A and B are shown apart, each in its own frame.
Chain A
Amino acid sequence: NAGVMQNPRHLVRRRGQEARLRCSPMKGHSHVYWYRQLPEEGLKFMVYLQKENIIDESGMPKERFSAEFPKEGPSILRIQQVVRGDSAAYFCASSPPTSGRSYNEQFFGPGTRLTVL
């Protein structure tokens, strides 16, 4: 059973370009979470999605950032008109459907390291 997959692992963009980060959850997992790790800072929650639904986007910047998890295919985190401050490691995590336990383990992917020149 493959783990959470993210691609690309490294992405370089110039200011003003768009960045698309992809996340394929573990098999059988229907919940996807995106986190951002800024240099010298901790991991911060961005958005929580289930298939075709955004459940919680309280950590997403109000502008330029969007996320989706379509019925088919990976989850996408999209950053429009990137700025240098967007340079960070973006991690995706997935968890299985709620099984009656209070919380399910979240399994993380290897991350995408975005560098904005």
Chain B
Amino acid sequence: SQELEQSPQSLIVQEGKNLTINCTSSKTLYGLYWYKQKYGEGLIFLMMLQKGGEEKSHEKITAKLDEKKQQSSLHITASQPSHAGIYLCGAPYYNTDKLIFGTGTRLQVFP
């Protein structure tokens, strides 16, 4: 069965530092979603990637999907306290509409 593994599991960085979160799949990805979750709240959609080699940016967050479509990275430039939360990668399970998710990366940003 397909699984998504995220690394690191948690990350503590100082404000202003750059950071990268990785998401690795055991199978070829049909697409890759990045979400952010704050404690007690729902998931905020960040980006969706579908093509090998695709890269998207929004404000200070950049996500990439590798050419082989088995790994994605999320990069935050000049982190701020507002970036704190749990980052989840999700992917369609094989060629279906249901999503499977990684276990999440908990990010803390301190001043």
Q: Are B30 and A108 within 8 A (Cβ)?
A: no
Q: Are A102 and B50 within 8 A (Cβ)?
A: yes
Q: Which of B31, B45, B50, B96 sits near A107, CB closer than 8 Å?
A: B45
Instruction: List A contacts of B45 (CB < 8 A).
Output: 105-108
- Size bracket, chain A contacts: 20 to 34
Total residues of chain B contacting the partner, CB 8 A: 25
Whether, in the assembled complex, B33 has its beta carbon less than 8 Å from a beta carbon of chain A, the answer is: yes
Whether, in the assembled complex, B101 has its beta carbon less than 8 Å from a beta carbon of chain A, the answer is: yes
With CB as the reference atom, state the residue of chain A lying closest to B97.
A48
Q: How far is the CA of A4 from the CA of B92 in the complex (A)?
A: 20
Instruction: List A contacts of B97 (CB < 8 A).
Output: 31, 33, 48, 55-56, 95, 103
Q: Are B103 and A42 within 8 A (Cβ)?
A: yes
Q: Which of A42, A45, A93, A106 sits near B93, CB closer than 8 Å?
A: A45
Query: Closest approach, in angstroms, between the C-beta of B65 and any C-beta of chain A?
Result: 13
Main secondary structure of the interface of A (DSSP, over half): strand
A contact residues vs B (CB 8 Å cutoff): 4, 6, 31, 33, 35, 41-45, 48, 55-56, 58-59, 91, 93, 95, 101-103, 105-111, 113
B contact residues vs A (CB 8 Å cutoff): 30-31, 33, 35, 40-45, 48, 50, 88, 90, 92-93, 96-104
A-B pairs with beta carbons under 8 Å apart, 27 shown? A4-B42, A6-B42, A31-B97, A42-B101, A42-B102, A42-B104, A43-B90, A43-B99, A43-B101, A45-B93, A48-B98, A56-B96, A91-B43, A93-B43, A95-B97, A102-B30, A102-B31, A105-B45, A105-B48, A106-B99, A108-B35, A108-B43, A108-B44, A108-B45, A109-B42, A110-B42, A111-B41
